[in-house]
Structure 1
């Protein structure tokens, strides 16, 4: 009896799938930052639920390579999307130190989903290459590092076609969603509904794999540059060389010496501290002056002003005498000779 109660308490596969799907929808529709505690809790919970669903699918052996797509029940088609959900939630994890591991794990989930869909001929698409660390693959990847214009044009056209198909699929899904979720749709509409979902996730998975490959390349180049900089800094540093001059003959060497004759005797900071100690530094652009210097400058200014006043009085006195003399001596006075 207790064993039967435990079996009743175990989560059912439809409940696990639905819980994982709802958590993924909530994470993608969340307004909070992806790194927030609320979103990350949903991500971890969704991954845990989907992991249990994947284990249950493996135990039930629900999908076999010996059957075709038409032999799979319409209600079981949705379980093919479990790896895609796992990959999408794995991409939502936020941990910079484990970012490369998360990307590789998400790529494995997406490849697993695409492989199953490709085997059952859910849609016509080209299966992305797996990342095998072999010399042949390294040579091939280096040869396609710089794609030709024809390859880039074909990739662009493929993206445009995927986008067009995605819009058509989403439009058709919106018309079937209410009928399927309410339970009023027949088996034909249910099958079409889940097949459309699978085709939608095929496009999403291909785009995610392309983005993952680009990010993995960037992260690996970043790690390699860090290692190179670390190895370069670990090299023994040379002691600083003393300045020297080149001489053409022995006479110049005797005059200038073996090295530069005017080596610095103190640093800039030492020079600054020494001048500040003796009060020889300017204070905001105005040189400091002692009280004696101020008195001397004031006395010089007063003497200059007094001299200018005396000069003005003497000049005024001479001008007045000249005016008086002109009054008593008209123009031409004293020049009376040779006046016929």
Structure 2
């Protein structure tokens, strides 16, 4: 396989694949538009992959060519052109072909199969379910990227130590395919959403030239009215451009010449007191003075307090006497 080369390019399949891969990665990080399907035709011509094989039957050197359709989809979906719908359909065909090829070799996880089925059948989930799925896919993609970086470091170290990196290279390629399967499903979802937007845009009736002319005339008319109201009074030739009243501003300025600098009251003191009286803020008249009944009641209360104090003192004296003279004290029990 390494000796097969294109007559026009003079490059082998492996060299062409590596070149296309590098250019595809450069395109993803730039605004350039590029597509080169030569290595795709070579892969199809050589028939490197068969539905009767398993992934163990594919050699490590041939594993990277499974990614051809994925790289083509990444390039085409970033092309800018007038017929955006055709580009999206073409990119979707590349991604779908790549997904089915990986599925035939058993390289698609169960969660990815469920995701592809939801996209294919246009199944929509609620916001909470969609958010959970997006978070789970993001975490999985992040873990895959970290594993790829670890394997790349291992491959670099093996190359420096002149070790055979075939096992690590195969593991790295399979993990890279899994990463592109995840990206493929994400791109398919984006393509489907963009196709819906294009369909909605195409359903809108086109704007005729007559409507555009009418809108432009209305805008010019409104702009002219605004200029008449806010523009200068006189033109360059001293012609009056809009009506005005000369005495308006003069009278306003005259009224403000002898105007005091402080704020004048809006009502008199009597008016303010009358307003407060209506609100209930002013109490008129005095309160009730002390009556005879109140005096008698107070005298009776004082007498009751004095009597209560006298009774209390009597009880205290009796308690003191009992303390000083216990019961039976001084009884000689008949001894005379």
TM-score with structure 1 length normalisation?
Answer: 0.55
Inter-CA distance 84–6: structure 2 relative to 1 (3 Å threshold): closer
- Does residue 134 of structure 2 align to residue 159 of structure 1? yes
Cα distance in 2 for residues equivalent to 1:123 and 1:6: 33
Match of 2:173 in 1: 194
Match of 2:199 in 1: 220
Structure with the larger helix share: 1
**Conserved? CA contact 2:28–2:74, under 8 Å:** no
Match of 1:86 in 2: 72
Cα distance in 2 for residues equivalent to 1:189 and 1:286: 91
Cα distance in 2 for residues equivalent to 1:130 and 1:212: 14
Match of 1:73 in 2: 59
Match of 1:13 in 2: 13
Inter-CA distance 282–202: structure 2 relative to 1 (3 Å threshold): closer
Aligned counterparts, 1:270-281, within 5 A: none
Q: Structure 2 unaligned runs (5+)?
A: 212-224, 226-234, 247-336
Q: Structure 1 unaligned runs (5+)?
A: 35-39, 132-136, 234-267, 269-275, 288-340
Inter-CA distance 184–25: structure 2 relative to 1 (3 Å threshold): farther
Cα distance in 1 for residues equivalent to 2:125 and 2:99: 27
Match of 1:303 in 2: none
Cα distance in 1 for residues equivalent to 2:103 and 2:205: 40
SS at match of 1:75: coil
Deviations 1:276-303 (A, max 9, x none): 99x66547x466xxxxxxxxxxxxxxxx
TM superposition outliers: structure 1 runs of 4+ over 6 Å = none
Match of 1:128 in 2: 116
Inter-CA distance 280–8: structure 2 relative to 1 (3 Å threshold): closer
Cα distance in 2 for residues equivalent to 1:10 and 1:130: 44
Cα distance in 1 for residues equivalent to 2:200 and 2:118: 20
Aligned counterparts, 1:12-91, within 5 A: 12-30=12-30, 34=31, 40=32, 43-44=33-34, 47-48=35-36, 51-91=37-77
Cα distance in 1 for residues equivalent to 2:190 and 2:147: 27
Cα distance in 1 for residues equivalent to 2:107 and 2:163: 25
Cα distance in 1 for residues equivalent to 2:183 and 2:241: 70
Determine which structure has more spread, i.e. the larger CA radius of gyration: 2
For residue 28 of structure 1, report the CA deviation from its aligned partner. Answer: 2.5
For residue 27 of structure 1, report the CA deviation from its aligned partner. Answer: 2.1
**Conserved? CA contact 2:13–2:42, under 8 Å:** yes
Deviations 1:121-178 (A, max 9, x none): 11312163599xxxxx9xx75xx5xx453xx444333322221221111111112214
- The alignment's C-alpha RMSD in Å is 3.9
